[in-house]
Amino acid sequence: MDELSRRKMLFAGGTMTALGLLGIASPARAQSPWTWSPGASVAGSGTGNDPHWVWDDEADPVIADVIKRGDVPKVNELLRTWTRNDQPLPEGMPGDVRAFMDKARELPPWAVQSKLDAAARFTTKKGIYAGALYGLGSGLMSTAIPREARAVYYSKGGADMKDRISKTAKLGYDVGDLDAYRPSGEMIVTTVKTRMVHAAVRYLLPQSPGWSDTSGGQTIPISLADVMVTWHSLPTFVMRKLLEWKVPVSASESEAYLHVWQVTAHMLGVRDEFIPASWAAANAQSKQLLDPVLGPTDEGKKLTEVLLDIVAELDAGATRPLISAFSRYTLGEQIGDYIGLRKSRPLEATVEAAWPLLVAFREGLIPLPLVPAVAWTLEEIIRKIVLVFLSEGERISIELPDANRPS
């Protein structure tokens, strides 16, 4: 895959993850006891605290003060000028915000640059699969996480999903960039800004009557458990599907891919004691955090419709049915029903037959004539999703909200 195609795929993946890392909130469910052991984390030990009751003690008070004193426009104006990992923080940034950002931009001491580089190389090789899974798997799965869907719907970005998506797409691209965590990259900047957005949503969303009425009793959104719910809908889900699809992944590639997402969780403010140290630990945690929370909501179905309408702008006659069929194939029938994906059994059967052939062809296992046209059509649609509303020459700015969704 050439660099331009790779960039498009990564943007597409980030695009459809719009209901993820910029708008997460804890799932609606009866909370089960927290039993996952910190001994399975990258820290190797911990307090044993339940992450459902842990938020971001460093970011939250700072950003709440920014909103209360009316500094959001000033901070956003300065944030627009801060784009590279090695770039000094903007002059004029309020002192409390500068102090937070200086600390937040530091990589964890356990980050290994060689593994981060290997993760980027892995993405260049497997970008088509990662893009499909981030976008038409993880992104749509997020609408089946009840409080996540409601938090997005009632927040400011929920009123303008194209704008919301374009900003969230940046994280999806930056995490797979060749220079992601290098000085010339942008992933540190993106994670720090995203962490600040989370803090702003924590302050603002409890003031929304719509969210409060549907929050299931939660008083503060986006606990660290909530961050990890969305985290598992991304790398844990993706690696699981790659193995199901029989995509060859070496042990070193698997380790590197996990590592870049471990670092990303840390940079988003997750305590090391909650970050899984291995895929086995990640799968165990996912079963406790993600799997039990999936379910239907009116808000989730509405957001699914918005996302599919955006995709359908590519080709209203063919794209949407095919995307719905592929998403059902990727997510399963139950999640497809939760989010209201339309059924087309003949098309779903075609996707089920075509996609494994495309995977096998791309991995050099079968010759070209055996790959049906629908497989190539689907791949090309995935590549082009982002072109509906994104220009790669356009600077995307992640900014703090100053209000919730208008009534």
What pLDDT digit, counting tens, does each position of 309-321 carry? 766 665 545 577 8
Residue 391 DSSP code: -
Q: What is the mean pLDDT of the chain?
A: 83
58's tokens: 């460093």
Examine the pLDDT at 369 and tell me if it is beyond 80. no
Cα separation, 263 vs 168, in Å, equals 18
Mean pLDDT, range 325-346, rounded to an integer: 92
Per residue in 286-308, pLDDT (tens digit) is 999 999 999 999 988 988 888 78
pLDDT at 384: 55
The residue whose two tokens read 């220009």 is 391
Cα separation, 245 vs 129, in Å, equals 9
Rounded to an integer, what is the distance from CA 373 to the centroid of its chain? 30
pLDDT at 185: 93
Rounded to an integer, what is the distance from CA 316 to the centroid of its chain? 26
Cα separation, 319 vs 311, in Å, equals 7
The residue whose two tokens read 């597409």 is 12
Closest CA to 67 of 397, 399, 407: 399
Cα separation, 203 vs 111, in Å, equals 31
Closest CA to 25 of 175, 225, 312: 225
Banded pLDDT at 28 (limits 50, 70, 90): very low
pLDDT at 236: 96
Q: At what angle do helices 373-384 and 3-16 cross, to 10 degrees?
A: 80
Examine the pLDDT at 151 and tell me if it is beyond 50. yes
Contact 344, 321 (CB under 8 A): yes
Cα separation, 59 vs 354, in Å, equals 47
Model confidence, pTM: 0.86
Closest CA to 267 of 21, 12, 14, 9: 21
**Ranges of H-type helices in 24-94:** 59-68, 72-79
Mean pLDDT, range 162-191, rounded to an integer: 81
Cα separation, 92 vs 181, in Å, equals 25
Contact 178, 124 (CB under 8 A): yes
Examine the pLDDT at 389 and tell me if it is beyond 60. no
Examine the pLDDT at 235 and tell me if it is beyond 50. yes
Burial class (CB in 10 A: 0-12, 13-18, 19+), 207: exposed
The residue whose two tokens read 């985290």 is 231
Cα separation, 345 vs 360, in Å, equals 23
Question: What is residue 406's three-state secondary structure?
Answer: coil
Examine the pLDDT at 367 and tell me if it is beyond 90. no
How would DSSP label each residue in 246-274? Answer: T----HHHHHHHHHHHHHHHHHTT--GGG
